[in-house]
């Protein structure tokens, strides 16, 4: 009996730990969705993604990679600069484990007018206020599924 109780406890805890939110990025709709473990849509944000359509093939091709990735880290990027320009990445950089590519993530922007467009080098951009909401739903290890340009 004790053996079954331990097995049940282990399976219950393992199920609770694996039952976490997922993030889905629709490049076609230019939207980011947070989906609960029960498949409910918790929130939706407009985004910007790679300037060029299709799956990332080469460094500098201005495409957002497609596939299933995991959050590698959530980094404070408030003080980061790009070519001397401050606040380019917003308050956080959600770094993705993209095996072929470095520096791909979901981050804020200092140019909110770009949201809803294809203008990035490959990252996914959100309004800073939306990014602040998103970080409440994700953690290291959260699945991020980036759909191709033709998926809904």
So which residues are the catalytic ones? 107, 123
- Residue at token pair 């490049």: 27
DSSP letter string, the chain: -HHHHHHHHHHHHHHHHH---EEEEETTTTEEEEE-TTS-EEEEEE-BEESS-S---STTS-----EEEEEEEEEE-TT-EETTEETTT-SEEEEEE-TT-SS-EEE--S-GGGTTSEEESS-EE--HHHHHHHTTT--TT-EEEEE-TT--
Give the separation between CA 134 and CA 128, rounded to whole angstroms. 10
């Amino acid at each position: 009996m004790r053996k079954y109780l331990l097995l049940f406890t282990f399976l219950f805890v393992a199920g609770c730990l694996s039952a976490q939110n997922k993030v889905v990025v629709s490049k076609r709709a230019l939207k980011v969705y947070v989906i609960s473990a029960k498949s409910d849509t918790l929130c939706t944000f407009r985004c910007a993604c790679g300037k060029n359509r299709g799956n990332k093939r080469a460094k500098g091709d201005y495409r957002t990679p497609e596939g299933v990735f995991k959050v590698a880290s959530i980094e404070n990027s408030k003080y980061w600069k790009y070519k001397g320009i401050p606040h380019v990445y917003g308050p956080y950089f959600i770094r993705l484990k993209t095996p072929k590519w470095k520096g791909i993530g979901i981050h804020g922007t200092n140019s909110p007018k770009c949201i809803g467009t294809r203008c990035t080098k490959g990252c996914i951009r959100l309004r800073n206020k939306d990014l602040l909401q998103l970080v409440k739903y994700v953690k290291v290890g959260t699945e991020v599924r980036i759909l191709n340009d033709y998926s809904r």
